Amino acid sequence: MVTVLHSSELSMAFDKLARRENLSLQEIQLAAGAIFEVLTNRSQDYLMLTTAFFGALTVKKPCIDELIGLAKAMEKTKTVNFHFNIVDKPVVTAGGTGGDTLHTINITTPAIITAASAGAYAVKSGSKSFSSKTGCIDLAEALGINTHLSPSKIGECLKTLRTALWSSENIYPWMSSLIQLGSQNSTKQLLPLLYSLRLVIATALNPFSLKRQVRGVSEPFTELVSNVLGSCGYERAFVVLGYGQTENIRIDEFSTLGKNVVSELKLNGDVETFNVYPQDLGIKIGKPNEIIARASHQENAKIVAKVLSGKDKSSCRDIILLNAAAILVLSDVCQNLRDGYELAKQTIDDGYAFTKLEQLRFFKN
């Protein structure tokens, strides 16, 4: 059951959201804290309450203070605190909000592995599929990677291999309920109404307490998310919305199919928005049918393994390389995306990326 206190907090929040009024920083933190507790305890009607809350926020459109407040509330739910001062270089993470219109393969997970192979310190915490065919953890487990190492082993893995993949369920007690929410047939029809939840995850999900990330969104909120990241303590970030040949095709990663709208959070706190086109980087325009996810986790894992081994030369390879390039830039390994793309490509061709995959697979105990 929802407590009396939580009932009043949520009731007030729903009243204001119904009037399309913004919640204050304190109001959103209290309401979000109640929602996360409801999810954690799987209280009565937790699916309905969560869907209604984030649905109302989506209809109203979240403001920057609401996203900051949600991030602060989410940070308080973490059960583990990581300190990656064991390495003296920037550590970068990457991920997308989901909700893309093309339903691509999982791109950021192999991009993380490729970037680490090229000299970056790059880690990723993810979940099983929420709305996509294959989530980060689904893919990693299909590739034979242990995503449930202890926190100390994650630190050791990062120090030894410059990378690690970890399940967010290990640190956020409400995550498994959220994944169940996404799997409900009744909820799937409402996923477009839950885009505010995707934005919250994009701006607030930071289990490793990192300061740099590449974040993909599938709606035109790049500047908003970049500004929220800056307010939440990030020092550098790329927030990108990738398009296909038309703006009806949108993916939550850097795209090789068409234009990319990028909002860059710089070290001085400024946010600059600009467009990136694959042809400007010497990348051929990709073929949509080559990057669409297959039916099973195992099939998608085989595609990723072929890309990392250098055997797959399709559009899957190029889009993974471009996203690895963004990680390499934020890692201070490369100056720009073109150099990052070329380095990532050479890394795969020289066999380092597949070697990194094998190292991750054997780093289990």
pLDDT digits (tens, 9 = 90+) for 250-268: 999 999 999 999 999 999 9
Please check whether residues 351 and 299 belong to one and the same domain: yes
Beta-carbon contacts of residue 209 (< 8 Å; ≥ 6 apart):
81, 82, 83, 84
281 within domain boundaries: yes
199 within domain boundaries: no
Token representation of residue 90: 């920037």
Please check whether residues 167 and 270 belong to one and the same domain: yes
State residue 5's pLDDT score. Answer: 44
Domain count, the chain: 2
CATH code for the domain of 330: 3.40.1030.10
Please check whether residues 24 and 134 belong to one and the same domain: no
Please check whether residues 9 and 144 belong to one and the same domain: no
CB atoms within 10 A of CB 272: 11
Tens-place pLDDT, residues 170-225: 888 888 887 776 666 655 566 667 788 888 887 888 888 899 999 999 999 999 99
Beta-carbon contacts of residue 189 (< 8 Å; ≥ 6 apart):
none
pTM summary value: 0.93
pLDDT at 165 over 70: yes
| Low-confidence winner among 6-10, 126-130, 188-192, 320-324 (lowest mean pLDDT) | 188-192
Please check whether residues 251 and 102 belong to one and the same domain: yes
CATH code for the domain of 30: 1.20.970.10
Please check whether residues 33 and 119 belong to one and the same domain: no
Tens-place pLDDT, residues 142-164: 999 999 999 889 999 999 999 99
Q: How far is CA 293 from CA 106, 195, 232, 296, in A?
A: 8, 21, 33, 8
Considering only CA atoms, give the Rg of the chain.
19
Please check whether residues 353 and 264 belong to one and the same domain: yes
197 within domain boundaries: no
CB atoms within 10 A of CB 4: 8
278 within domain boundaries: yes
22 within domain boundaries: yes
Q: Which of 20, 44, 75 is the last residue of a domain?
A: 75
DSSP β-ladder status, 121-126 and 163-167: parallel
pLDDT at 1 over 80: no
128 within domain boundaries: yes
Which domain does 48 fall in, by range?
4-75
Q: Which helix (H) or strand (E) holds 67?
A: helix 64-75
CB atoms within 10 A of CB 349: 10
pLDDT at 339 over 90: yes
Average pLDDT over residues 32-46: 86
